[in-house]
Amino acid sequence: MLTGLRGRLEAADRRNLIRVMPAKGAEMSTSATADVLVIGGGVIGLSIAWRAAQRGLRVAVADPEPGGGASHAAAGMITPISEAAYAEKELFRLGRESQRRYPAFAAELAGLTGKPTGYRQAGTLQVAYDADDLAILGEYQALQESFGVTVRRLTARECRQAEPMLSPAVRGGLLAADDASVDPRLLTRALVAAAVLAGVDIIRQPAAEIRTAGGGHGTAHDGTAHDGPAGHGTAHDGPAGHGTAHDGPAGHGTAHDGKAHDGKAHDGTAHDGPASHGTERDRAVSDSRVAGALLGDGTRILAPWVVLAAGWNSATIAGLPPGVAPPVRPVKGQILRLRSGTGGPGTSGPDGMPGLLARSVRGIVHGSAVYLVPRDSGELVIGATQEELGADTRVTAGGVWELLRDARTIVPGITELELAEAVAGLRPGTPDNAPVLGPSPLPGLVLATGHFRAGVLLAPVTADVIAEYLATRRLPDLAAAFTPRRFDRSAGSAGAAAAPGRSGRSQPRAAGRNPASEGAPR
């Protein structure tokens, strides 16, 4: 008999999916059903899966490497305030709301799983190195205040009182006391454990193709069609005759015959149904519906709702009708992990060395941006480059050199630390740097991607709004500005837009300029 957390995890893992035999004549593969299939188990997909399972939905996550992707590289700053300079007001509001939810989110995860997340609320100190950098800092302050946030301006002396290891050359700073951080690798581990405890099946396979039912755009059919998790959730027999039973939490008890639904009849709000503006794309998807996905090993997952949360890969998965894939692109970020003592000055870690910093420090050095994020483990994270090089994850000498150069200018003591790791991750960037949240034009397909620099910050609020949509088919107002519909205005060009067209370290942006093409490395 299995005991303890591992035993509970394995038991939960086994009970969720219903395995079904393929219909006579159907392709030979294992099939399984779920109310919701989440494609991608990064910080976003795992958070959604966990919250959706807590709402009573049967959830499966497909990911060959849960906790991988950009989540594995991320620094983990929860800093909507010091990020404000790079965000539109709506995005800033979403970030603030997610930040507000973080303490409870992290405490619930740790309480349920016994696993730490590395959450610490120690604030962020933004510092300027020369007179021009100080001017940029002044613009940040003005923008942050225009968003209704109070930050404290510190003199050079006050900066060094707060962080004694700062270079004496630092000219001044801004203190955002509410800012926090988390260790994304610990966070995704805790999320996997919490999701499994809630009954989520984690399937270590990639989604090779999204399957649809009905429609005439030539994609494969799995023969399932549902009202969705919030709907009628009854036994059904799709054309392929799988004979599986679904009982969504709302379970109204109607029978249906496997015809595709248009997803509109049950929609309660203006923005929760698929877009239908009579475009070619809308005609292509109007009579089809998501039916699940084919995984890399040939397993078919039958699910009436699919959440696409595969980071930048969300745009590359096969099987979607034209125009349905979210406009995401990979934005490379190189980042370093140094080993020191524990987080705060005066404390000492496993190696007996004192931690260099008490809080996250973001520096502007001759117009270039760098950050240093301390962890309780004694790790010090230094990031990050922002490069438009496609799906390139090579760590370059130039990237590492620039990061170390600027970090050393701000905190000279880093040169004494051990360089433990240098990696590159790919952020899911969008044309307007904001996430894509909510129903897509293809009924049953929900998008949760494009979180760019802020996926760790935005995980709690994203999980809540998407789980709410899956359970009720109403998308909370908080997400209204982030639905895929906003790209309809520039239909056809959204996917291609946005690449700022340069590589290397990005410069801190003067407040008020177009954030779509510039931003602080993160």
Ligand X SMILES: Cc1cc2nc3c(=O)[nH]c(=O)nc-3n(C[C@H](O)[C@H](O)[C@H](O)COP(=O)(O)OP(=O)(O)OC[C@H]3O[C@@H](n4cnc5c(N)ncnc54)[C@H](O)[C@@H]3O)c2cc1C
- Rounded-to-integer distance, Cα 296 and Cα 205, Å: 6
Pairing of strands 207-214, 288-295: antiparallel
H-only helix segments in 16-126: 43-54, 69-73, 89-113
- 335-364: which residues touch ligand X (CB under 6 A)? 335
If one asks whether residue 70 binds ligand X (CB under 6 A), the answer comes out as yes
When binding is defined by CB under 6 A, the residue of 106, 310, 471, 511 that contacts ligand X is: 310
If one asks whether residue 427 binds ligand X (CB under 6 A), the answer comes out as yes
Q: Which is nearer to ligand X, 223 or 326 (CB)?
A: 326
If one asks whether residue 313 binds ligand X (CB under 6 A), the answer comes out as yes
Site string for ligand X, 166-205 (x = CB under 6 A): ----------------------------------------
- Rounded-to-integer distance, Cα 522 and Cα 505, Å: 10
Q: Taking the complex as a whole, how short is the minimal distance between the CB of residue 278 and ligand X, in angstroms?
A: 31
Which position has the token pair 């203190």?
175
Stretch that binds ligand X, among 73-81, 165-173, 437-445, 470-478 (CB under 6 A): 73-81
- 316-335: which residues touch ligand X (CB under 6 A)? 317, 333, 335
When binding is defined by CB under 6 A, the residue of 35, 37, 40, 479 that contacts ligand X is: 40
DSSP string across 140-196: HHHHHHHTT---EEEEHHHHHHH-TTS-TT--EEEEETT-EE--HHHHHHHHHHHHH
Q: Are 263 and 184 a contacting pair, CB within 8 Å?
A: no
Q: Taking the complex as a whole, how short is the minimal distance between the CB of residue 231 and ligand X, in angstroms?
A: 26
Q: How many residues bind ligand X (CB under 6 A)?
A: 44
If one asks whether residue 522 binds ligand X (CB under 6 A), the answer comes out as yes
Length of the chain: 522
If one asks whether residue 369 binds ligand X (CB under 6 A), the answer comes out as no
DSSP string across 414-471: GGGSEEEEEEEEEEEE-TTSS-EEEE-SSTTEEEEE--GGGHHHHHHHHHHHHHHHHH
Q: Are 41 and 310 a contacting pair, CB within 8 Å?
A: no
- 142-171: which residues touch ligand X (CB under 6 A)? none
If one asks whether residue 315 binds ligand X (CB under 6 A), the answer comes out as no
If one asks whether residue 384 binds ligand X (CB under 6 A), the answer comes out as yes
Q: Which is nearer to ligand X, 67 or 223 (CB)?
A: 67
- Rounded-to-integer distance, Cα 347 and Cα 356, Å: 9
When binding is defined by CB under 6 A, the residue of 36, 37, 44, 240 that contacts ligand X is: 44
Q: Which is nearer to ligand X, 63 or 222 (CB)?
A: 63
If one asks whether residue 242 binds ligand X (CB under 6 A), the answer comes out as no
- Would you give the DSSP letter of residue 354? B
DSSP string across 314-345: GGT-BTPPTT-S---EEEEEEEEEEE-S-SST
Q: Which is nearer to ligand X, 286 or 386 (CB)?
A: 386
When binding is defined by CB under 6 A, the residue of 128, 165, 260, 456 that contacts ligand X is: 456
Q: Taking the complex as a whole, how short is the minimal distance between the CB of residue 304 and ligand X, in angstroms?
A: 19
- 397-426: which residues touch ligand X (CB under 6 A)? 425
- Rounded-to-integer distance, Cα 416 and Cα 398, Å: 20
CA-wise closest residue to 66 among 84, 48, 92: 48
Stretch that binds ligand X, among 172-180, 236-244, 446-454, 504-512 (CB under 6 A): 446-454
Site string for ligand X, 206-225 (x = CB under 6 A): xx------------------
- Rounded-to-integer distance, Cα 462 and Cα 430, Å: 16
Stretch that binds ligand X, among 16-24, 58-66, 142-150, 489-497 (CB under 6 A): 58-66
CA-wise closest residue to 120 among 68, 178, 74: 178
If one asks whether residue 73 binds ligand X (CB under 6 A), the answer comes out as yes
Instruction: Using CB atoms within 10 Å of the CB of residue 65, give its burial: 0 to 12 exposed, 13 to 18 middle, 19+ buried.
Output: exposed
> What are the distances in angstroms from CA 325 to CA 13, 283, 311, 313, 450?
30, 15, 12, 10, 11
If one asks whether residue 77 binds ligand X (CB under 6 A), the answer comes out as yes
- Residue 128 Cα to chain centre, angstroms: 30
Q: Taking the complex as a whole, how short is the minimal distance between the CB of residue 137 and ligand X, in angstroms?
A: 20
When binding is defined by CB under 6 A, the residue of 2, 21, 29, 65 that contacts ligand X is: 65
Residue 394 in tokens: 């090579």
- Rounded-to-integer distance, Cα 72 and Cα 183, Å: 10
When binding is defined by CB under 6 A, the residue of 22, 56, 68, 344 that contacts ligand X is: 68
If one asks whether residue 39 binds ligand X (CB under 6 A), the answer comes out as yes
Q: Taking the complex as a whole, how short is the minimal distance between the CB of residue 315 and ligand X, in angstroms?
A: 10
When binding is defined by CB under 6 A, the residue of 32, 35, 37, 69 that contacts ligand X is: 69
Stretch that binds ligand X, among 66-74, 192-200, 232-240, 406-414 (CB under 6 A): 66-74
CA-wise closest residue to 456 among 187, 81, 195: 187
Q: Which is nearer to ligand X, 69 or 444 (CB)?
A: 69
If one asks whether residue 76 binds ligand X (CB under 6 A), the answer comes out as yes
If one asks whether residue 429 binds ligand X (CB under 6 A), the answer comes out as no
Binding site for ligand X (CB under 6 A): 39-45, 62-66, 68-71, 73-77, 206-207, 309-311, 313, 317, 333, 335, 383-384, 425, 427-428, 449, 451-457, 522
